[in-house]
Structure 1
Amino acid sequence: MTAPNALDHVRPVFRRILVWAGLLALGLAVVGGVVGLLVSGTPGLVGGLLGAVLSVVFLGLTALSVLVALRASKGQMISGAFFGIVMGTWLLKFVLFLVALFLLRGRDWVDFPTLAIVIIVGVVGSLVIDVVAVATARVPIDVPLPGSSSAPGKSDTRN
């Protein structure tokens, strides 16, 4: 018995996550940019907008890595290719995050506290999006039930 192909069933869930991530990014950019502008002027606006961009890039990389990994592993979520792509992307995100913070820290044109708060709100928002999208997904599993005609060696005796 082969493992069921998850590609066709999981793809809509992660597409939904990407759409919601875009809406989250738009909301973060508007609210973070306006609040940052009111609190610390132009550097706050830049911090809010950069925080929104970084948040959506990191969230999008997660969803895209799963979609690419599913395609590369031909829908087999238990393959080494799947785990390698997803974990490699996670490592890449971690490195990019550290590099971005290192490059932006101490710059006069960006308000670092606004940037950090918007990124934190983006991370929490992305976690909520992931949980809601996965929890409300209706992904079928192809497992024969006892007594069904599709079970190997069993016949359905119901009329």
Structure 2
Amino acid sequence: MTETPDPSAATSRRAVSSDRLFRTTLLWSAAITGILAVAGAAIGFAVGGTSGLWSALVAIILAAVFLGLTAGTILVANRWYGDPLYVPIFFGAVMGGWIVKFALFIVVLLVLRGQPWLNNTVFFVALVVSVVASLVIDVVVMLKMRVPHVGDVTLPTLADVIEEARRPSMPPAPPEEGNQSPPADAAAPRA
């Protein structure tokens, strides 16, 4: 005989309904990043030679890493859904991802600043095009996906409601000893 797993147990993990959304976003972003890398490299090479090619590739890869890191950390954190510590793990992972992105951004800017091979115009245009493409993907995926508003909770069924209605109602519990108030006429003076 099989036993029904306890949903509150730490070993019982359920998938979060938004996981499909983030996976789809990451897959589409990877495909668009590949297309942008090929197009950006060709246009960058045509505009700025070898430095334009490398500037476009660095900008497109940088945008893909930064924009994919948030969705990736959310997907990793969602593996703990159902765990009593899910909320702190989730926010710790997302905030940790943002801190990593911030530190990485500063390091990349310091490394790229003043590099002789960097074509600033090609780098900027490729970065902006990559970010706009990623935002378009996010909007399209959000509009096309069907994620239920209450997909991660268990709602009662009709059988549950009927069973609850058939149960005899419990009488109200008597008040505790220390919280009893005196009867209304107990405080009245006696003549």
After TM superposition, the score normalised by the length of structure 1 is 0.80
Bigger Rg over Cα: 2
Change beyond 3 A, Cα 1:75–1:139: farther
The equivalent position to 2:164 in structure 1, one of 135, 143, 153, is: 153
Q: Secondary structure at the match of 1:43?
A: helix
In structure 2, the partner of 1:41 is 49
- The secondary structure found in structure 1 opposite 2:61 is helix
Q: Does residue 25 of structure 1 match 2:36? A: no
Corresponding residue to 1:114 among 97, 113, 122: 122
Distance 1:18 1:104 in 2: 26
Q: 1:84, CA displacement in angstroms?
A: 1.4
Measured in 1, the distance between the counterparts of 2:71 and 2:83 equals 15
RMSD, matched Cα:
2.8
Query: Partner of 2:182 in structure 1?
Result: none
Q: Secondary structure at the match of 1:46?
A: helix
Q: Which residue of 2 aligns with 1:105?
A: 113
Extract unaligned runs of 5+ from structure 1: none
Residue 95 (str. 1) matches residue 103 (str. 2): yes
* Letter of the 1:88 counterpart: G
The one-letter amino acid paired with 2:164 is G
Asked if 1 retains the 8 angstrom alpha-carbon contact of 2:80 and 2:86, the reply is: no
Q: Structure 2 CA distance, aligned partners of 1:51 and 1:65?
A: 21
SS of the residue aligned with 2:17?
Answer: helix
Number of residues of Structure 1 aligned to a counterpart in Structure 2: 152
> Residue by residue, what CA displacement relative to the aligned partner does 1:67-110 show, whole Å, maximum 9, x if unpaired?
11111344789712111111210121122122112211211112
Tell me the CA shift for residue 149 of structure 1: 4.0
Check whether the contact 2:60–2:126 (CA below 8 A) recurs between aligned residues. yes
In the alignment, structure 2 segments of 5+ residues that lack a partner are 1-7, 167-191
- Identical pairs, percent: 38
What amino acid is the match of 1:123? V
Q: TM-score, normalised by structure 2?
A: 0.68
Contact 1:17-1:130 within 8 A present in 2 as well: yes
Which residue of 2 is the match for residue 85 of structure 1?
Answer: 93
Cα gap change, 1:6 to 1:48, in 2 (>3 Å): farther
Larger helix fraction of residues: 1
CA distance in 2, matches of 1:20, 1:112: 27
Answer whether contact 1:36 1:114 (CA < 8 A) is retained.
Answer: yes
Mapped to 2, the partners of 1:95 and 1:41 lie a distance apart of 30
